Chain A
Amino acid sequence: MLPAPAFLANPERFMAFSRWAAPLFGALAVVLATAGLWLTFQVPEDYQQGDTVRILFIHAPAAQLGLFVYACLGVASFLALVFRHVLADAAARAAAPLGAAFTLLALVTGSLWGQPMWGTWWVWDARLTSVLILFLFYVAYMALRASLDDEAKAARAGAILAMVGLINLPIVYFSVEWWNTLHQGSSTFAGEGKGLAPVYRPPFYLMSLAYMSAFGSLWLVRIRGEVWRRRAEAAALRAARA
C-alpha cells in the first residue's frame, strides 16, 4: 500500500520514499511499455484507419497525461499557495516540463494521424485548439517561473497562473461534446458497443498505464532534483553570508 500524500509532505520522508519508488515506477513503465508495444504491433489493422490505428496507442495516453499532469500541477500549486508548502511548490515546478512534453507529443502524434485520416495536419476545432492552449499554459508557467529571480514571487505568480489554467481542463475534456468537432468523441468512456473495439483495448490500457508509471517515476526524480537544488542554493547563500 502506498503511503498517504500527507506522509510525503515531510521532505525527509519524501526523499526516503522516492529513492525506491522512482526506480520501481520506472521499471514498471518499461515492463508495461514493452508488453503494450508488443500488442500494438500484434493487433490487426483497422478496417477504416489501416495501420494508423497504431498511432492511437501512443497518442491517446499522451493526451490523457497532458490533462492529468496539469491537474497535478494545479493541485500542487493550490497547496503551495494556500499552505505555503515547499514540497508542493517543488512538485508543481517539477510537473510542468513533463506535462508540456506529453501535451506536445499528443499534438504531434495527433497531427501525424490526422493528415492521412482527415486530409489535414491541423484544424482549428475545439479539441485541438484547447489542447494547444493547454500546451501554451505549460510554456507560460515555465517562462514565468524562469523570468523571476525572487523564488517566492515566482512560486506565487506561477501558482496563480497554473490555477487559472485549470479552467481549460474541462473545456479540453468536454470540447468534443460541447462543440461539433472534427476530432472524434471519447473512445475510453464511450459505453458498451461504442468507442474502442475490444481487440484494441489491451494495448491501449497497457500503454496508458506505462505512460502513467513513467510520469510517476520521472516526477519523483524531478521533485528530488528540486529538493537538492533548494538545498544547494541555501548552502550557497549561507556560504556567501559567512
Chain B
Amino acid sequence: MLDLDASPYAAFVWPAFAITALVFAWMVASSLAHARRWKRKALEGDRQRSERT
C-alpha cells in the first residue's frame, strides 16, 4: 500500500517531486527537440547539396 499522506510536510514533499518531474520533462523535451531540429537541418543540407551536383 502506498503512503501518499505526507502531512504535516506535504507543502515541502510534493513541490520537491513536482519540480523534479518538471526538470526531467524539460531535459527530455529540450534534448529531443535539439537533436531533431539539427537532424532535419543536416538532412536538408544534404538534400540541397545532392540537388546541386
Please give the residue numbers on chain A whose beta carbons come within 8 Å of chain B beta carbons, in ascending order: 38, 41-42, 44-45, 50-52, 54-55, 58-59, 62, 97-98, 101, 104-105, 108-109, 112-113, 115-116, 214, 218, 221-222, 224-226, 228-229, 231-232, 235-236, 238-239, 242
Contact assessment for B41 and A228 in the assembled complex, using a CB-CB cutoff below 8 Å = yes
Known: A109-B19, A225-B34, A225-B38. A51 touches B27 (CB 8 A): no
Please give the residue numbers on chain B whose beta carbons come within 8 Å of chain A beta carbons, in ascending order: 1-10, 12-13, 15-17, 19-20, 23-24, 26-28, 30-32, 34-39, 41-42, 44-46, 48-49, 52
Known: A112-B12, A218-B28, A235-B46. A105 touches B35 (CB 8 A): no
B32 to chain A, nearest CB (A): 6
A3 to chain B, nearest CB (A): 21
Cβ–Cβ < 8 Å partners of A218 in chain B = 27-28, 31
Cβ–Cβ < 8 Å partners of B23 in chain A = 101, 104-105
Contact assessment for B42 and A231 in the assembled complex, using a CB-CB cutoff below 8 Å = yes
Known: A41-B4, A45-B3, A232-B42. A221 touches B35 (CB 8 A): yes
Contact assessment for A109 and B3 in the assembled complex, using a CB-CB cutoff below 8 Å = no
Nearest to A38 among chain B residues (CB) is B2
Contact assessment for A52 and B9 in the assembled complex, using a CB-CB cutoff below 8 Å = yes
Contact assessment for B9 and A51 in the assembled complex, using a CB-CB cutoff below 8 Å = yes
Cβ–Cβ < 8 Å partners of A101 in chain B = 23, 26-27
A55 partner, pick from B4, B12, B24, B32, beta carbons under 8 A: B12
Cβ–Cβ < 8 Å partners of B2 in chain A = 38, 41-42
A242 partner, pick from B15, B30, B52, beta carbons under 8 A: B52
Cβ–Cβ < 8 Å partners of B7 in chain A = 51
Q: Kindly state the separation between the CA atoms of A238 and B53 in the bound complex, as whole angstroms.
A: 13
Contact assessment for B34 and A116 in the assembled complex, using a CB-CB cutoff below 8 Å = no
